[in-house]
Amino acid sequence: MSKASLSRRIRTLGKEWSNLHAKRPRILYHYTDAQGLLGMLKTNRLWATNSRFMNDPTEVEYAARVIRETALEQEAHYPSTLFKSVKHGISEVLEVYEGDNDEYIACFCEEGDLLSQWRGYGAVGGGYALGFQAEHLGLREYKTIEAPEPVLRKVLYDQKKQKYLVRKFVKLLLDWEIFCNNGARKEPRASQFNYAWRLFNWFVSECLNCFKDPAYAEEKEWRLIQYGRNTKAEKFVKTDFRASRNRIVEYVEIEFSRFNGKDSRLPIKTIRYGPTLDPKVTERALRLLCISIGCPDLITVQRSGVPFSGYQ
């Protein structure tokens, strides 16, 4: 086992993760209520909520549990002292993110007329599904280290795939520690330690926002993720607070000109209104709204085809 071979594994793992999110649908839908729709169209800003304020508080717990359980599978294959050291390091990384997960997320769905989304996020059928051009929804990898741009990530529901990825990263950590402890190293210990663990730290920050329980697979969710801190742990985003479902949540506004060049408009191509809204009144209001923001011919208006009255 050489440093060159381990370095190749590090590059391969980073690329493998990135490739999972490379093939985007043409349109991704964001379900919201009337207040959210007006807020976005009038300001040309997308609201990304702090992940600690998401609707499902168990998401981070689920992903952390997958990592811990998968890491334990390697206990029988490595020396006890080495494994305990790496296990402790993994726990420390997870505890940091579980305690202070400083990422901001805007959620999207591949389906633009899904009953579960109307019920959960579209004002119980009285809301809107905004269809965004996915190619303009964030970068594949951020380019600026001091102030990372938003990245678009596909949510992974397949638990076998989740464990497969975690297993590869955990094995890398264990093998890297063996390399660092073999007595032949020439670099300072801290430098070697950070080389592989830095990648694992990044992986944890990503998969805690991308791993979901298979029960939610119908959503086919993608997430625009704005990291709140840079690689130096410095907070660089400006946050604010808003009311959401009788709660106060922290959020950031995402300006698209930051990574889409000079065009600051939200890349919205269609607006589908919910099944409980009156078609004539709603379409008239939406078309007038599109005219008022200067996009009368750029955004199409559609009616939901879901037979849903809105009553539970």
Sequential pLDDT tens for the chain (312 residues): 787 888 899 899 999 999 999 999 999 999 999 999 999 998 889 999 998 887 676 888 999 999 999 999 999 999 999 999 999 999 999 998 887 778 999 999 999 999 999 998 888 999 999 999 999 999 888 888 888 899 999 999 999 999 999 999 999 999 998 988 875 455 554 454 577 888 899 899 999 999 999 999 999 999 999 999 887 778 889 999 988 778 899 999 998 776 666 667 899 999 999 999 999 999 999 999 999 988 878 899 999 999 987 765
Specify the DSSP element, H or E, that contains 195.
helix 189-210
What is the phi-psi region of residue 124: left when phi exceeds 0, alpha when psi lies from -120 to 50, beta otherwise? left
Q: Which two tokens stand for residue 93?
A: 């990384």
For residue 170, how many other CB atoms are within 10 A of its CB? 24
- Give the per-residue pLDDT at 75: 95
Pairing type for strands 128-133 and 300-303 reads: unpaired
Give the whole-angstrom CA distance, residue 260 versus residue 166: 33
Q: Is 173 within 8 Å of 197 (Cβ atoms)?
A: yes
- Give the per-residue pLDDT at 189: 47
Give the whole-angstrom CA distance, residue 25 versus residue 109: 10
Host domain of residue 65: 3-303
308: in domain: no
Q: Is 267 within 8 Å of 150 (Cβ atoms)?
A: no
Give the whole-angstrom CA distance, residue 301 versus residue 283: 7
- Give the per-residue pLDDT at 3: 78
CA distances from 237 to 7, 103, 107, 207 (A): 32, 10, 19, 21
- Give the per-residue pLDDT at 192: 47
Q: Which two tokens stand for residue 4?
A: 């060159």
Give the whole-angstrom CA distance, residue 76 versus residue 91: 18
Q: Is 199 within 8 Å of 16 (Cβ atoms)?
A: no
Give the whole-angstrom CA distance, residue 229 versus residue 235: 4
In 3D space, the residue among 232, 40, 256, 43 whose CA is nearest the CA of residue 149 turns out to be 256
312: in domain: no
Residue with tokens 């905004």: 130
53: in domain: yes
Work out how many domains the chain is built from and give that number.
1
Give the whole-angstrom CA distance, residue 222 versus residue 150: 13
Give the whole-angstrom CA distance, residue 212 versus residue 223: 12
142: in domain: yes
Give the whole-angstrom CA distance, residue 258 versus residue 143: 11
In 3D space, the residue among 255, 67, 276, 80 whose CA is nearest the CA of residue 170 turns out to be 67
310: in domain: no
Q: Write the DSSP symbol of residue 113.
A: S
159: in domain: yes
Beta-bridge partner residues of 47? 253
Give the whole-angstrom CA distance, residue 9 versus residue 7: 5
